[in-house]
Chains A and B, each alone.
Chain A
Amino acid sequence: MSEGVRRRGRIGYLLLLPAAAWLLLFFVVPFYSLVATSLFDPSGSDFRGYEMDYAFGNYADVVRDYAGPFGRSLLYGALATLFCLVLGYVLAYAIAFKSGRWKNLLLVLVIAPFFTSFLVRTLSWKLILADDGVVVNTLQALQVLGDDGRLLATPVAVVAGLTYNFLPFMVLPLYASLDKIDHRLIEASGDLYANPFVGFFKVTWPLSLPGVVSGTLLTFIPAVGDYINAQFLGSTNERVIGNVIQSQFTDANNYPVASALSVLLMVLILAMVLVYVRRAGTEELL
């Protein structure tokens, strides 16, 4: 189709140039600058200036001092991604297969809540999970929580907030790949005496894998980097790597340490993404 009308020549470069230049200048070069800053002598300051001395020791220091926040970021991000996958799959499946002519309306409703400010939404979770709120009182009445048990300022609240905030990033790719599935394949599995569960795990689930892979990536990456949920819904015990990076930059003004943390986070995420995509066998997605 569009392969046929692809034109050669200089116009392609001209059209691409402004966007590519912007990304080179303000994405690629900055990342280089971040890596360089992470190797500066940490005893400098942004007033006196830093000296480049290839201080790879910064990375050792950072791993030693901030393993906790790193671990929490990855753990909270992974849990939130898992919950998003369960909730998102149910919702995407219902829209793709069960919604009939309400499909488009439901898709609009999926993204609608997320047009309200991210911070305002997260703050309203603070209210929903508050100590004498409905949720906590109900859970106390059901003896799920102790009488002085709470949700706010616990890891539960942070994971709940992350799950909520990144759900659409899961639902939309899942929907896109479920919607493409040929219904006749699922019917065929029924005709061949597969019960609905077997049919789901042998037909629907494998065919939806591209959506599962891109949905989990789109959820996991921002969830690991986020610190608003930890800041608003957690206590100081739930501080994640984002909190540390931002305070090292803006409060402590320790640029080399903050940069090393940032580079390490990026490398960790890229490594995990590559391993994950390899194992899922869907490299063509990238």
Chain B
Amino acid sequence: MRWVKERLVLILGLLVLVYTFVPIFVVVAMSFNNPGGRNVYKFGSFTMDNWKDPCAPDDLCSTLATSIQISLLATLVATVLGTLAAFALVRHDFAGRSASNLLIFLPMAAPEIVLGSSLLALFVASGFAGQLGFWTILIAHVMFCLSFVVVTVRARLAGMDDDLEQAAMDLYATPMQTFWRVTFPLVLPGILGAALLSFSLSFDDFIVTNLNSGNTTTFPMYVYGQERVGVPMQVNVVGTLMFVVSIAIVLGMELRNRRRVAA
């Protein structure tokens, strides 16, 4: 009893953590489900079929490919533009800095439905209603990823001591050398973290995408559309894979950091 009392907070905390994993267990279990009948929200019998042929349902893999393309492009653009802006905000002084900080902050304070409907209103008002699709989705995704990139990279930059950069300059490194050999490697983990965040924000987005998509369908839109008729079990295979791949990436980065610290 005493043992439990001393560790009560830790035990409660771990219970909350277990709770966050419950739906993941369900997704993994359902990826092996053969529902048999029409009710796809029940476990019928075990099967490997969903894993053998994840692309069996029409449109599942094509929408997945569209989503991956959009997310990769959006991540690339948002990470580059956001990193440049973060350097400007931390390392440079200019009139309008606080206004810029506000401009970066506001998109994060707006609900997605407002961001999405604003863009749609603009596209319709400027005569692009017929051209909604891949490119309008991309524009929207870069917009809402940007602020998150700036905030993440800015935090990394602001927490960085400039001792090492000073030392490099003292040792006659040119500004270019100092940047690429000292500054950039130090900021890189922040940039990679921001890129990972962008990718998952973009890949996961439904609300903004749905309003600006025209005839293009992304993976979340596919899932939404299938919900009424019953989602194919292969969707859970994709869900499981997303979980496994992202865990692997995050743990890989964490291990690399540990080795760095140890070395």
Residues of A within 8 A of B115 (CB): 27, 30
Binds B, one of A57-65, A106-114, A138-146: A106-114
A128 interfacial contact with B, CB 8 Å: yes
B111 interfacial contact with A, CB 8 Å: yes
Residues of A within 8 A of B240 (CB): 116
Interface string of A1-40 (1 = CB under 8 A from B): 1101111110111111011101110111111011011000
B184 interfacial contact with A, CB 8 Å: no
Select one of B9, B41, B105, B247 contacting A127, CB under 8 A.
Answer: B41
Residues of A within 8 A of B126 (CB): 33
Residues of B within 8 A of A46 (CB): 124, 129
Residues of A within 8 A of B122 (CB): 26, 29-30, 33-34
Closest B residue to A15 by CB, please name it.
Answer: B88
Interface residues of chain B, those whose CB is within 8 Å of chain A, are 7, 9-10, 12-14, 16-17, 19-24, 26-27, 30, 41-42, 81-82, 84-85, 87-94, 100, 103-107, 109-115, 117-122, 124-126, 129, 139-140, 142-143, 146-147, 150, 157-158, 160-162, 165, 200, 203-204, 206-207, 210-211, 219-220, 223-224, 227, 231, 235-236, 238-240, 242-243, 246-247, 250-251, 254
**Contact in complex: B93, A6 (CB < 8 Å):** yes
Select one of A2, A241, A249 contacting B211, CB under 8 A.
Answer: A249
Query: Which residues of A in the span 99-143 have a Cβ within 8 Å of any Cβ on B?
Result: 99, 104-106, 108-121, 123-128, 130
* A125 to B25 alpha-carbon distance, docked (Å): 11
* A33 to B117 alpha-carbon distance, docked (Å): 10
Select one of A5, A98, A286 contacting B162, CB under 8 A.
Answer: A5
Q: A1-B162, A36-B121, A128-B23 are in contact. List 9 more A-B contacts (CB 8 A).
A: A13-B88, A26-B139, A27-B107, A28-B103, A113-B23, A116-B239, A119-B224, A164-B20, A269-B111
Select one of B41, B117, B146 contacting A34, CB under 8 A.
Answer: B117
Q: Give the interface size class of chain A.
A: 35 or more
Residues of B within 8 A of A28 (CB): 103
A266 interfacial contact with B, CB 8 Å: yes
Closest A residue to B119 by CB, please name it.
Answer: A30
In the complex with contacts A15-B92, A46-B124, A115-B243, A266-B110 CB distance below 8 A:
yes
Interface string of A204-244 (1 = CB under 8 A from B): 00000000000001000110111110011000000001100
A255 interfacial contact with B, CB 8 Å: yes
Select one of B24, B143, B162, B236 contacting A113, CB under 8 A.
Answer: B24
In the complex with contacts A109-B17, A127-B30, A34-B118 CB distance below 8 A:
yes
A203 interfacial contact with B, CB 8 Å: no
A85 interfacial contact with B, CB 8 Å: no
**Contact in complex: B111, A117 (CB < 8 Å):** no
* A77 to B80 alpha-carbon distance, docked (Å): 34
Interface residues of chain A, those whose CB is within 8 Å of chain B, are 1-2, 4-9, 11-16, 18-20, 22-24, 26-31, 33-34, 36-37, 46, 87-88, 90-91, 93-95, 97-99, 104-106, 108-121, 123-128, 130, 164, 167, 217, 221-222, 224-228, 231-232, 241-242, 245-246, 249-250, 255, 258-259, 262-263, 265-266, 269-270, 273, 286
Closest CB in chain A relative to B15 CB, distance in Å: 8
* A24 to B104 alpha-carbon distance, docked (Å): 10
Select one of A90, A118, A245, A270 contacting B117, CB under 8 A.
Answer: A245
